[in-house]
Structure 1
Amino acid sequence: MEAKAQAQFAEAFRDDPDFAVPDVVAHAEHVIVGEWLEGTPLSRLIADGSQEERDAAAGHYLEFLLAGPQRAGLLHADPHPGNFRLTPDGRLGVLDFGAVNRLPDGLPPHLGSLLRVALDGDHEAVVAGLREDGFIKQNIDVDGEALLEYLEPFLAPARTETFTFTRAFLRDLFAHINDPRKPQWGVGLCLNLPPQYLLIHRVWLGGIGVLCQIEGEVRVREVLSAHLPGFAEAPDLT
């Protein structure tokens, strides 16, 4: 199954100017042999990479996580920095396809529309959309304005043309949502995670964590517009 997923990614990104996915050479029940991929692991860039390298790696990293479902019908669901490397020609090399989410139709377009209306401050539409997708159960009442306040740190990267992910941002984000002394903590308890979004949620949170380790400047809105269905179009939650 992993070999099949890797081959599917390799075909979808073949000869891509920004990404490199090695082909599968051979595989058996417990072993996969793939093409060798030269490059500097993200873990090394995190430790001592230049700012230029950090910016390039962070931008490609976010773009790949969003572009995979649209191009390959699969979401790479293990965003660990050890699975990515910057190749000598400046592409992002991607490894380890043991954890994937099969999304033959790409990411749900509702996600992009919800993000847009949240950025616009339409709390009623956000509550309605989250309820429709199962994030808010029908018997749970949620204050829309409080919900947007709870979500604000997750929305912040998309509010400007570029955003620099930092460790300080990550600390503030988790302090914001995990401090029981703050009113928004109770809002988080009202939210539900539908099973179909489990791996998407894992990639979302894990990806933010890796971006904050890289500490690169990313054109987040541009990447979202290009690769998150529903974000660039006018919001439509019907």
Structure 2
Amino acid sequence: MIDKSMSSPEAAVADIFDGASVMIGGFGAAGMPDRLIEALIAQGARDLTVINNNAGNGDAGLAALLREKRVRKIICSFPRQSDSHHFDALYRAGEIELELVPQGNLAARIHAAGAGLGAIFTPTGYGTLLAEGKEIREIDGRNHVLEYPIHADFALIKAQSGDRWGNLVYRKTARNFGPIMAMAAACTIAQVNEIVPLGALDPETVVTPGIFVQRVVMTMASAAAA
């Protein structure tokens, strides 16, 4: 019997190792797998490479992971905002590496990994510092930059509902990066508000099929959140 449900967030992230690459879903707080991040902090893995849309908000979630100095490198598109003080302090002190990726390119590179593509060409970034040292090719009269897929050892994502096979349904814009990150990681761990019986999810509403998910954990604290 296939059953990907886990007993706790702690059990779900127990084998994330030092130096792992970890995709973390969310657009700010929307769709952020807060309980999985808390469990990862408690677990103790360090020297992580984190792939996320931004670099943490306030003092919770990804920001807390940064505060504990567990992240060696972050790949993101939006590292600075009014409450990104933990990232700011680490970056100014030279204690974290940043790879800045335009948001569309970030999504496209993650999707390319999930789709099994070797590389993509995109016009975004051409003529800027972000294209320095990269191959440039003219396509249909427009210059494009060669970009490589972003893979990860683990993806931590959040969904509204899931079943024991790992099929996932998201809540509105909390969906954001979750579906493509699930496809691009060797091990996808989904935090859900509820685990429903097989057959309870309308197949037409399933965004992430269970084939892309290895672990599902229901978290009580997330049940009242978006």
Q: TM-score, normalised by structure 2?
A: 0.25
Structure with the larger helix share: 1
Structure with the larger strand share: 2
When Rg is computed on C-alpha atoms for both structures, the one with the higher figure is: 1
